[in-house]
Chain A
Amino acid sequence: MDFFKFFSKQPPSKDVAKERLKLILIHDRANVSPTFLEMLKSDIIRVISDYAEIDERGLEIKLTKAGEEGINTPALIANIPIKKMKETAK
């Protein structure tokens, strides 16, 4: 069994557990549901799309907890890849 495990690319289950926990705790702590983030995401896309063409698939949005990434308060971090700016925005 261990011989096959050696070649499989599955990460150790504790890393999976840690990642899952980190993600779920962000929602738990902020007291928001994943639906809330989805709604926020679609609204952000709608607003920004007026000014720029964005890569919707590459859009990442997350809530961090206080103290994470050097910020003292929980922060909403959005990573929005822009394909190109729209004419109207120039």
Chain B
Amino acid sequence: MSISIVVTSGKGGVGKTTTTANLGTALAMLGKKVVVVDADTGLRNLDLHLGLENRIVYNLVDVIEGTCKLKQALIKDKRLDNLFLLPTAQTKDKTAVKPEQMQELVENLKKDFDFVIIDCPAGIEHGFENAVAGADKAIVVTTPEVSAVRDADRIIGKLEAKGLEDHQLIINRIKFEMTKKGEMLNIDDMTDILAIKLLGIVPDDEKIVISTNRGEPAVTDPTSKAGQAYKNIARRLLGEEVPFMELDNQESGFFSMIKKLFRR
């Protein structure tokens, strides 16, 4: 059984590409055969997140235009043999692909992979239409900010209008310290407003910057909180019941480090 999942958000910069790279890697680490597809033609970045930018020869647009075979455009991950990237073109724009073509492409990928994860561009225009065309399921990424929540709501409306009823929410970059003080929208606030099933919570984590700098997804770093959150989400996608991260897990600083040492 294979499934195609689109990672979308409406607003830019909330962590769609980070989510795609991490979930793809985490699912591959759990033994699944995964392909991550960059649907952000003209502004590709998924290659950078995976550290595969120097290996690109062909891309998604080449496949659709018939310049190369699908297999030729797939790039094998550096670390995992069962993870592949299908990059898109950087010098074309989003009109180079039609939703029907994208749908066909995703169907073809599903024959070879357990998971096809599509990184959707920001916005609700042509690029969004292409990215969701072949998806069985949608993951909506948002952050605890009014603008991101508003855009997420718009995207959920669009998905429902398309009949893509299977959609779940990831709340990214939550700062537990701030939610405790009531200075940041909390999980309940957001699920209440958006009326959508929660798939996962990812804490704000400086290590994400380091991961992206190196082109190594956070899930490959066992000490990364965000990486752990993405691993939990990957297990939930496989049907496992994994509890959400607790607020108190977020303790940091010198004293909590000492406390943790003694707990072991």
Chain A interface residues (CB < 8 Å from chain B): 12-15, 17-18, 20-22, 24-25, 28-29, 67
Q: Is A12 a contact partner of B181 (Cβ separation < 8 A)?
A: yes
Cα distance A13–B150 in the bound complex, in angstroms: 17
Residues of A within 8 A of B189 (CB): 14, 17-18
Q: Which residue of B lies closest to A18 (CB)?
A: B189
B184 touches A28 (CB 8 A): no
Indicate whether B258 reaches chain A with its CB closer than 8 angstroms.
no
Kindly list the 3 A-B residue pairs having the minimum CB-CB distance in the complex, ordered from nearest.
A12-B182, A14-B185, A18-B189
CB distance from A5 to the nearest CB of B (A): 10
CB distance from A4 to the nearest CB of B (A): 15
Contacts of B154 in A (CB 8 A): 28
Indicate if the CB atoms of A25 and B182 lie closer than 8 Å. Answer: no
Do B182 and A21 touch (CB < 8 A)?
no
Q: Tell yes or no: B179 within 8 A of A by CB.
A: yes
Whether A13 contacts B183 by the Cβ 8 Å rule is yes
Contact call B185/A17, Cβ cutoff below 8 A: yes
* Residues on A with beta carbons closer than 8 Å to the beta carbon of B157: 28-29
- The secondary structure that dominates the B interface is helix
Nearest Cβ in chain B — how far from A64, in angstroms? 13
B223 → A minimal CB distance (Å): 29
For this complex, 22 residue pairs linking A to B, each with C-beta atoms less than 8 Å apart, are: A12-B183, A13-B182, A13-B184, A14-B179, A14-B184, A14-B185, A14-B186, A14-B189, A17-B146, A17-B185, A17-B189, A18-B185, A18-B189, A18-B193, A21-B146, A21-B149, A21-B193, A22-B193, A24-B150, A25-B150, A28-B157, A29-B157
A13 vs B183: C-alpha distance when bound (angstroms)? 5
CB-based nearest A residue for B189: A18
In the complex, what residues of B have CB within 8 A of residue A20's CB? 146
Asked if B209 is at the interface of the complex by the 8 Å CB criterion, the answer is: no
B38 within 8 Å of A by Cβ? no
Residues in B neighbouring A17, C-beta threshold 8 A: 146, 185, 189
Cα A20 to Cα B149 in complex, Å, equals 11
B146 in contact with A28 (CB, 8 Å): no
Bound CA span A20–B147, Å: 11
Residues B183 and A29 in contact, CB atoms below 8 Å apart:
no
B153 at the interface (CB under 8 A from A): yes
Q: How far is the CA of A17 from the CA of B185 in the complex (A)?
A: 7
Closest approach, in angstroms, between the C-beta of A23 and any C-beta of chain B? 11
> Chain B 139-181 against A: per-residue CB contact (8 Å), 1 yes, 0 no?
0000000100110011001000000000000000000000101
Contacts of A67 in B (CB 8 A): 195
Shortest distance between the CB of A27 and any CB in chain B (Å) = 10
Give the CA-CA distance A18 to B66 in the complex, in Å: 49
A14 touches B183 (CB 8 A): yes
A13 partner residues in chain B, CB cutoff 8 A: 182-184
Residues of B within 8 A of A12 (CB): 181-183
* CA gap between A14 and B175 in the complex, in Å: 13
Residues of B within 8 A of A18 (CB): 185, 189, 193
Chain A nearest Cβ from B95, distance in angstroms: 26
Judge whether B153 and A29 touch: CB under 8 Å: yes
Cα separation A17 to B145 with both chains bound (whole Å): 8
Cα distance, A68 to B150, chains bound together (Å): 18
Let me know if B182 and A28 touch, CB within 8 A.
Answer: no
